[in-house]
Amino acid sequence: MTLTSQVPRRRRALVAMVVLAAITVFLHPQSAWAGTLTGVFHGPFGNDELYAATPTERAPRDPMAGQAVDLHAATWPVSPGQTVWITWTKNGVPQTPIGAGWDYNSGNNTYWKIAMGSFARGDQISYTVNADVDGANQKSIGPFSFAVTSWSGPSNVTGFVNNGTSVDVTTGDTAGSFTPKVRFTFPAADRFHVQIAPNGSGLNITGSVTPTVTDSAGNAHAGHVEVAGQDPEDAVPGVGLSGRRDDADRPAVRPGDLPQRRLGQ
């Protein structure tokens, strides 16, 4: 009699506990990832694709002078209380940390954007991306760095050196901070090679034909250097390359045709 009466009581107590637990969970739902941070990621070059960008790269990847630089990063999992910021230096000098703004959530990730502003040609930037949750559990990735560049091209000829089988022509720099050199060599009759050194060093190509060099710097404008091997009309400012060549095989090298280089330092 006593045993049979205790069984329903135990069952009733168990059912009551289950119901109470269900009500508690329903009234106080808890996020599976609340107040957590597992990692932070930033990849400045993404997949290095020309026409596609990833959501965690630097924009632009190779900043030029005057361009606004934005950094993109991701944290995971999605959780309240997360904060993202960068610590960074400019030309070796520590700068004020910059906080990131929340961009959007996607899947298990939260995406962030950090606006660094713009820089001048030659600036050397280094940065580390940091994240924490509620001021603790800090994660970091980096450091990353970039040198700020700008477009630069050769201007007037300022001098030349006849090396015997090559001629080095020194020019000015349209951006004003380089001393470019252009080397002309002649590997065979009616052929020439060109090598450009933005800082004036590292020229290493050689030729097998000895050119004849004539300096006429006293003439109008800056004058020119005539090197046997091409027509004088096909000339760099201050440089004329004279001789015979078939029209189909003639690379016309004129002042506006010299390739501009994007230079940084």
Tell me the per-residue pLDDT of 49-68, one tens digit each, with 9 for 90 and over.
999 999 999 999 999 999 99
DSSP 212: P
Distance in angstroms (rounded) separating the CA atoms of residues 98 and 116:
7
What is the rounded average pLDDT for all residues in the chain? 78
Is residue 31 pLDDT above 50, yes or no? no
pTM above 0.85, yes or no: no
> What is the rounded radius of gyration, in angstroms, for the C-alpha atoms of the chain?
34
pLDDT band at 89 (very low <50, low <70, confident <90, very high): very high
Phi, psi of 15, deg, nearest 5? -65, -40
pLDDT band at 93 (very low <50, low <70, confident <90, very high): very high
Residue pair 31/79 in contact (Cβ under 8 Å)? The answer is yes
Burial (CB count within 10 angstroms: exposed 0-12, middle 13-18, buried 19+), residue 52: exposed
DSSP 259: P
Strand partners of residue 235: 240
DSSP 255: G
With residues binned 3-state (H G I as helix, E B as strand, rest as coil), the percentages for the chain, rounded to 5, are: 10, 45, 45
Those residues with Cβ within 8 angstroms of residue 100's Cβ, 6 or more apart along the chain or in another chain:
71, 73, 83, 84, 85, 86, 112, 113, 114
**Topology classification of domain 151-263:** Immunoglobulin-like (2.60.40)
Phi, psi of 10, deg, nearest 5? -65, -40
Q: How far apart are the first and last CA of the chain?
A: 97
**Topology classification of domain 39-148:** Immunoglobulin-like (2.60.40)
Strand partners of residue 136: 133
- Give the residue-averaged pLDDT of 86-113: 98
Given the structure tokens 């300022």, which residue do they identify?
158
Share of the chain above pLDDT 70, in %: 69
